[in-house]
A and B are shown apart, each in its own frame.
Chain A
Amino acid sequence: MRPILDIADLGIAIAGRRVVRDLSFSIAPGETMALIGESGSGKSMTAAAIMGLLPPGARIAERSRLRFDGLPLRPEDDAAMRPLRGRAMSMVFQDPMSCLNPFMTVAGQIDEALQRLGTGNRAFSSEVDTGSREENPSKQRDGEFSRFGETRKYSSGQRRARILELLALVELPDPAAIARRYPHELSGGQQQRVMLAMALAAEPRLLIADEPTSALDATVQAEILRLLKNLQRRLGNALLFITHDLAAAAELAHRIVVMQAGRAVEYGPAAIVLADPREDYTRKLVSTRRMLAAPPQTPPVARASEPVLRIEELVHDYPARRILGRPFRSLHGVSLAIAPGETLGIVGESGSGKSTLARLAIGLARPGGGEITLFGTSIARMARLDRALRRRCQIIFQNPYGALNPRLSVEAAMREPLELLGLSNRDDRRRIEAALVDVGLGGDHLARYPHQLSGGQRQRVCIARALLSEPELLICDEIVSALDATVQMQVIAMLKALQAKRGFAMMFVGHDIEIVRWVSDRIAVMHRGRIVEQGPATAIVTAPQDPYTQTLMAAMPGSIGSATAAGRGEWRTPFKEHVG
């Protein structure tokens, strides 16, 4: 069987920087291929190249050969690619909220895709006539892809029916109601389903899914992955699945390509590669994944003494956006306590109020009601915390790109808390260096500016800065969610080791249940401004009581490399492999 997509020696350069080098792989009809890599590995650029959607300034190397169903693709020729897009191949993207046109209804946007199928009589046909083309290569160039030329023009009534059919296909409840809505009236999961419906409008032979679940909440991610799998089974399209998530790839893919820094480092059937990785990089990805799946066993903390932080019946409202509007209540009576040296994990999806809770806990915002007791002092009514309290608790933020002032060097940024908290003395520099060494950086980073550091390094600087005042409570607000998996693991392992050495308590806020479990002694699960369940980490993960916690745990990715390709006995490698 001829591959539906065949890529040989693909090279892409942006402004002279080579982001993809000598990449070769192919996808058989109906096959799922996963392209795995961390940020900057070139995986999304590869997808964009196949669709001809490369950003301006990107160049494809001369000797690259892309073939779609045997015919050469010219990604740089927009006019030549246009007839293929949305017909023979289509694509769904990462962030469905911004990928849907906010000014058009769902029906309008799908209708656009359907209307196009009628115009130009080029709707996709699955019947392929190959014989004549090879005999007459000159004619072939003129009428390239004209074989997707079966007429299938929809009338407006038919289109309407087809829209509802597509919305039902992606398992949206009440298609007629969804069709009338604007994207901002849908949830993230619904938006991504609409994107899928749009992409599948012409029943493409190749669907490219570029990180289709990474912008979504954990429970929704699992649903979308299952949907992708079901749809592929029903429609028989080939799927190029681009992800940084090994577990998701293991779940979906027949074969995988592991990319690093623009190169393919390993290639093969998913089950084999993930169970027995040969290359260092793949091995590291897999071991990170496995470490995460097997959290360290920590001895239970003795909870005798007074808690460092106690929160009772905390309520918080965001003020109304405009006059006569209703304020948005982000926390509905939250209660928790953290003992000295203990780590409490707060897990919840976006909008559950967990970050608000973190900011309230150390007095960066003021609650609408309830009580916050920090080291025995009630702070709920205090306008500002005094220095003595500030020294004892510190916060680290999510976005390592925003948490450091771009105009201050690492040294200047780290001097700031010392000066403001009245801890400054003559050996500041030595202390700052020691703090940097503690987080795996060194004195040579002192003079650097944030933009000269990687995301992981910036977050290490933030951790070092927060620990300068020897706090007894550290609040970590999604500190690793902007980082790549391997870097995430390095950062949390380092944080755990520092905690073992120094004995501070932690409130670890996150949306990734595996990471939170890895770090925490106890876990509180937040949902819509309430803590729905709270208890020892193992108990929450293995025996959740609350229905919401149960769905959250069910969505947790399984282990990889063992039974991944089970039930895929029909699968075998159909053609020779490009990667040698």
Chain B
Amino acid sequence: MFPGFWSRFKRNKMAVAGSMVVISLFLLSALAPVIAPYDPEQIDLTNVLAPPSSSHWLGTDQLGRDVLSRMIWGGRISLQVGFVSTGVALIIGVILGSLAGYYGGWVDAVIMRFVDIMLCFPTFFLILAVIAFLEPSIWNIMVVIGLTGWMGITRLVRADFISLRERDFVLAAKAIGASNLRIVFSHILPNAMASILVAATLGVAGAILTESALSFLGIGVQPPTPSWGNILTAGKDNIDVAWWLSLFPGLAILITVLGYNLLGEGIRDALDPRIES
């Protein structure tokens, strides 16, 4: 579909490093039940806040649970949140962006004003307000992050549609009487896929970052379910005695988000060598 994509992608060391990080995270999450040395929710009150040692590589938390095991299972949560909320944002963004870009006129005007209005809300405020009315469960978090993160994708898809809808192949499809639905789905959308893919990859990174901040504040993933953000809450509560609770989960978030960002930028550069980031 994109000639020269792989050769360009492989030459970009940062992009390859990013995809390695992403692949390893997938493997870790898939194999969590096998790899994790302990049950992530197993409490051991005789061994609370133990520093890193040979039996607990990354130490234990305030309930004596193994931090490494909790982080491996927490990685699963992050991945799930990243993908589901990006999925929600993609569905809304692609539909609204296609409508606005394809039809133009008042449809476009209404949708883009809606985007402008949504962009006025500090995302974090909107998420927190919605969570205040609903229960802070993992599903609510995922949906809410998605519902507040579709505006960028809408703008992107709209711009792609506007530039594509006047192209010859679209006009040709129209001339032979193809339906609007057919033109959108089998002629325009595939050509807009590249930028959507890049936005989705970067979106996963953003969603993981948001979820960890929410869980850190205690309004995201609720204990005992482990998430990198809520392990950090324990780190803050024990800030003067247990540095390992603060250090490792944050490092995991940083590396994960960096991985997705590098992968996204790498895909963008490989798809369109003219764009210099």
User: Do A and B originate from a single complex?
Assistant: no
B positions within 8 Å CB-CB of A: none
Residues of A at the B interface (CB closer than 8 Å) are none
